[in-house]
Structure 1
Amino acid sequence: MIEEGPPQHLRKPRRGDLPIATIAELAGVSPPTVSKVLNGRPGVGDQTRQRVEALLRDHGYRRRQASGAALCIEVVFHRMLPSIAMEILRGVQEVAHANDHTVGFTDVHRHVLAGAPWAEPLLARQPTAVITVFSLVTAEDGERFAAHGIPLVAVDPIDDLFPTPAVGSNNWSGALTATRHLLDLGHRRIGVVTGPVKDLSARARVDGFRAALDSAGVPFDQSLERRGVFTVDDGRDLGAQLFARPDPPTAVVCGNDLQAVGVYAAAWEAGLRIPDDLSVVGFDDVDQAAWLAPPLTTVRQPFGEIGATAARLALTLADGRPPAQERYELGTALVIRGSTAPPRR
């Protein structure tokens, strides 16, 4: 492995006089390749390694003795449901351990609340790669990690982070399948409760919902759409708005399972029985979905495989190889339980 040389005037801690991105440009390689050389990892040709090592030495870095520190993939969360977080971590861990890496876990909620930068501790630890599972990550964050030779992979980002690669599920297809299920049961007046308009996954789910209606020749009623955030409180409030209408929906497609829980509460307060008076479909298939009364019909996201895919992608980038594609969308599955039934005639 290589580390910085003796301190020099104005040199930043743990860094030479040029950032890794500049060294990569001078060497004609990618920043992850420089990171591999810097950390003594295999997968770099001898001539390339010698060229990069020469540049590192010229700019204040020197090889250090192996410390025995384990190679690590860091996973960053922000206010994530424990059941989802554990599934993603399980998938990451399976791939990481098979490649002799450990897995680190960071929740940046306190950093965000305090208005403190969340990336600095990760940059200081110099992990092999970082996987982010929170909405506040930006394209600039990806550029910053790349400049330090640390690949960044985003799970289900709310916006386009090009060139940072992303992994998620096929939200459009999942919502399409859920809505078709209700249409097949005979529902025609279907409401939709979804997340913020800026959220890529929320937009894709609404688009899938509308596509199912269009395919069935059912006009989309804008008055039955409610947008909020993916919380129980918003599901309850937005559901109550729908049920207070003189012509309420006979079914509701929810943006996620938390909103569906809120819709359950709103239905109970409005004197509606599920599924006799109202059918409800969620999205995610969190553990709580099967515990509701009645159990929730929902779209299952493969969170374990999402984590595994993100880890494989992160290690590919760390090896200096470009990804085969910029965004990976995994298939979803509709889990039919007791919250959906034909509408009452």
Structure 2
Amino acid sequence: MEHVDGKSKWNETLRQWNVTCYILLMTSLRDVAKQAGISIATASRVINHPEKVSKSTREKVEKAMGEVLYVQKISTIQEKIAAVFIPDLQNPVFTRITEEIESRVKNLGWSILVCTTSDILETERQHAYEFFSHNIKSLIFVSSVAANSSENYPHYKALIKSGARMLFINGAPRNVKATSISDDELFAGQLAAEHLLNLGHRKIGFITGKRTSSPRSTLRLSAIKSEVIKHEHASVKTVYGNWGHKGGYESFAQLYKLHPNITAIICASDLQAIGVLQYCIENGINVPDELSVIGSDGIDQGDWVSPPLTSIQLPFNEIANAVSQWLNARMQENFITPNSVEILFKPNLIERKSTNKPRKGIKVETNKDT
């Protein structure tokens, strides 16, 4: 996948969307008839006069319609409705992205339908087919479970072939020709590491999601390591755990037990970082005097905790603006980009009160239950 700097290449990408494209061909009634093993006339009767055919024939045709993604031509075309798929509503990052997108596109006449997938690919697939069957062809996937995977996911290709316009935020399947809009993970890792190293920290920990579910965090870790090796006696220790508040709490307990001399922690999400803060409160570790903590995402909740959380903020505004422009580009004929392209926007550092120069380091207290 080609990596493109967001601010310098965005206009060029929009031009490609509108100029170097090809027309999508919708599935025809002939395809339905072939799939069902019946004549075109019979398939037409099922669609236009279902009361005149047997139940078994009607069910056979309806099944074939779903298999080939046939969409009936209806009087009300849902041209300016987009479906947004997010893993869940509890994570403030996903709700913030959705709200930012909606605030941009509503003034352009677009409506947004939000669907949760529970991070289950089959659920995502079923919902995508359901929306498409109602002629909602603009599909936006946020942190899809298939993001950055090299596996073959035929339903994405089938949707695109049948006329779906697909956009991925925070990673896209590698075998699918689609546009992806994300933050620059390498730059995010560099920002976090530079901030802590410039404060004087040399023993740093990194908490991220499970190895199999966080390929983008691998980029962030590589950037952190690249900065760490520039400094003598500096090192980074990594723990892979669950996302969210509980995952941060448990991962730090594990890291603290193995490496009690660390003086700073970088978390792959703000929720994980908030979990670290809770562990520190319960175990008498002073933040930031004994431990500096930096999160990732820049959610509002990071300003509500004590101490307020230093964080690498996602470029919410830039991502939402790019989605808005992408939707408008989709309206100019049924075109898509001919090649996969990833638009990257740089995050920024929000410096609050959870990071400081190292003073004491964490003291090991063997009487504490970890």
Question: Which TM bucket (shorter chain)?
Answer: 0.7 to 0.9
User: Structure 1's 114 and 67: CA in aligned 2 closer, same or farther, altered over 3 A?
Assistant: closer
What is the deviation of 1:184? 0.6
Partner of 1:190: 204
Q: State whether residues 240 and 267 of structure 1, in contact with CA within 8 Å, keep that contact through their aligned partners in structure 2.
A: no
Unaligned runs of 5+ in 2: 1-25, 30-42, 47-56, 148-152, 361-370
What CA distance in whole angstroms lies between the structure 2 residues aligned with 1:197 and 1:188? 24
User: Structure 1's 239 and 183: CA in aligned 2 closer, same or farther, altered over 3 A?
Assistant: same
1:132 partnered with 2:141: yes
Partner of 2:312: 299
Deviations 1:172-219, CA, capped at 9 Å, x for gaps: 111211111111111111111112223222111111211111233554
1:330 partnered with 2:345: yes
1:206 partnered with 2:244: no
Q: Which of 272, 291, 301 in structure 2 is aligned with 1:259?
A: 272
What CA distance in whole angstroms lies between the structure 1 residues aligned with 2:338 and 2:115? 25
User: Structure 1's 17 and 276: CA in aligned 2 closer, same or farther, altered over 3 A?
Assistant: closer
% identical aligned pairs: 21
1:166 partnered with 2:180: yes
Q: State whether residues 86 and 142 of structure 2, in contact with CA within 8 Å, keep that contact through their aligned partners in structure 1.
A: yes
1:272 partnered with 2:272: no
Q: State whether residues 86 and 143 of structure 2, in contact with CA within 8 Å, keep that contact through their aligned partners in structure 1.
A: yes
Give the superposed CA RMSD. Answer: 3.3
Unaligned runs of 5+ in 1: 21-37, 39-60
| SS of residue paired to 1:153 | strand
What is the deviation of 1:270? 3.0
* TM-score in terms of structure 1 length: 0.75
What CA distance in whole angstroms lies between the structure 2 residues aligned with 1:255 and 1:110? 18
1:7 partnered with 2:82: no
What CA distance in whole angstroms lies between the structure 1 residues aligned with 2:282 and 2:314? 30
Q: Which of 150, 157, 179 in structure 1 is aligned with 2:171?
A: 157
User: Structure 1's 229 and 110: CA in aligned 2 closer, same or farther, altered over 3 A?
Assistant: closer
Q: Which stretch has the larger CA shift, 85-94 or 289-298?
A: 85-94
| SS of residue paired to 2:344 | strand
* TM-score in terms of structure 2 length: 0.71
Q: State whether residues 129 and 315 of structure 1, in contact with CA within 8 Å, keep that contact through their aligned partners in structure 2.
A: no
What CA distance in whole angstroms lies between the structure 2 residues aligned with 1:219 and 1:279? 15
Letter in 2 for 1:331: K
Letter in 1 for 2:345: L
What is the deviation of 1:159? 5.2
1:106 partnered with 2:115: yes
Letter in 2 for 1:122: F
What CA distance in whole angstroms lies between the structure 2 residues aligned with 1:122 and 1:267? 45
Q: Which stretch has the larger CA shift, 267-276 or 291-300?
A: 267-276
